């Protein structure tokens, strides 16, 4: 008989060990930002197609054809080219910025960024919004030439696809992906992360599995040692899906940790992270280091 999926799964002991060794990395996908009301890339792609149509850059037949494309990256690339060629480049970025806007009530209730920033680790994200930035301020890396293997530090935020605040840094069209991932220093940066750190993948869903598979296969270790984790939501009667997902991701060196979404849906991820933060701070040396830092600060006054 298949076991139950917990609403609040325990923190793996090995994960706490990696924090104390300063070898833990959180890898954040679009699902994190969707908790506070931002759109997923499929919605962004659809909205961009509609913007192209409203601006009369494409006709109805072309609109219908593009909407049938089941690849958000490809659709976004097409829309970017269409809008730019017709003099509507700003329309493209207006649509993207609108998609990245959070909803104040959701940000107040499910601010997962506050909870995550209380866990000492390396933070890497494929998201381009700015909602996590306040937790890092001057400790944010997003320019292509700043991604270097010697520049990996705990409690820094690495935005590997750039930030909406700097359009030249963004990576969301196919040519931009090719350019970024062919950069030798950038490749060396990711290679070191995947080979030397244990990674917790958060906020990755079906629409981002393509980029996730690419990252793990290209930069991960060849052996299938289970050194990474991924948090994924399931309904209570979907234990079989959890087993299937583990069968797939185990081959990539990733252990899937399922949590129940029956009561709270995808918002349950916030509760899991909040619980994990408390468990980690109790079990690791982070709390001790915080107290020590405060004591040293007081002694300097």
The yes-or-no verdict on residue 234 having pLDDT over 90 is: yes
Higher pLDDT, 6 or 284: 6
Report the C-alpha gap between 100 and 105 in whole angstroms. Answer: 15
Read off the pLDDT of residues 40-95 as tens digits, 9 standing for 90 and up. 889 999 999 999 999 999 999 999 999 999 988 899 999 999 999 999 999 999 99
DSSP string, the chain: ---PPPSSPPPPHHHHHHHHTT-EEEEE-HHHHHTTTPPPHHHHHHHHHHHHHHTTSS-HHHHHHHHT---HHHHHHHHHHHHHHTT-HHHHHHHHHHHTPPPHHHHHH--HHHHHTTS-SEEEES---STTGGGTTT-EE-SGGG--TT---TT-EEETT-BTTBGGG---SHHHHHHHHT-HHHHHHHHHHHHHSEEEEES--GGGHHHHHHHHHHHS-SS----EEEEEEE-TT-HHHHHHHHHHHGGGTEEEEEEE-TTTGGGHHHHHHHHHHHHHHHHSSHHHHHHHHHHHHHHH-
Instruction: Give pLDDT tens digits for 166-193.
Output: 999 999 888 898 999 999 999 999 999 9
Tell me the whole-structure pTM to 2 decimals: 0.89
Indicate if the pLDDT at residue 246 is higher than 90. Answer: yes
Q: What's the confidence (pLDDT) of residue 300?
A: 46
Q: How high is the mean pLDDT of the chain?
A: 89
Instruction: Express each pLDDT in 265-298 by its tens digit.
Output: 999 999 999 999 999 988 876 544 543 443 343 3
Model confidence pLDDT, tens digit, residues 124-154: 999 999 999 999 988 999 999 999 999 999 9
């Amino acid at each position: 008989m298949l076991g139950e999926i917990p609403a609040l799964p325990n923190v793996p002991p090995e994960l706490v060990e990696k924090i104390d060794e300063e070898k833990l990395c959180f890898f954040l996908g679009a699902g994190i930002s969707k908790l506070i009301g931002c759109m997923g890339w499929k919605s962004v792609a659809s909205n961009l197609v509609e913007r192209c149509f409203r601006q009369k850059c494409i006709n109805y037949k072309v609109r219908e054809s593009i909407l049938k494309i089941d690849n958000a990256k490809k659709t976004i690339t097409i829309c970017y080219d269409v809008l730019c060629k017709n003099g509507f480049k700003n329309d493209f970025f207006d649509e993207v910025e609108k998609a990245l806007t959070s909803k104040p009530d959701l940000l107040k209730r499910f601010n997962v960024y506050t909870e995550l920033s209380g866990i000492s680790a390396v933070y890497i994200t494929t998201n381009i919004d700015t909602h996590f930035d306040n937790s890092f301020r001057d400790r944010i890396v997003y320019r292509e030439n700043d991604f270097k293997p010697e520049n990996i530090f705990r409690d820094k935020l690495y935005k590997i696809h750039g930030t909406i605040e700097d359009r030249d840094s963004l990576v969301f069209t196919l040519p931009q992906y090719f350019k970024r991932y062919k950069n030798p220093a950038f490749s060396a940066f990711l290679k070191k992360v995947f080979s030397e750190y244990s990674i917790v993948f958060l906020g990755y869903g079906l629409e981002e599995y393509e980029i996730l598979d690419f990252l793990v296969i290209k930069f991960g270790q060849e052996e299938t040692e289970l050194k990474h984790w991924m948090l994924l939501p399931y309904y209570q009667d979907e234990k079989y899906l959890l087993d299937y997902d583990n069968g797939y991701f185990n081959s990539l060196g990733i252990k899937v940790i399922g949590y129940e979404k029956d009561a709270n849906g995808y918002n349950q991820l916030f509760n899991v992270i909040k619980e994990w933060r408390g468990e980690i701070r109790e079990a690791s040396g982070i709390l001790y280091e915080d107290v020590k830092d405060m004591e040293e600060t007081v002694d300097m006054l």
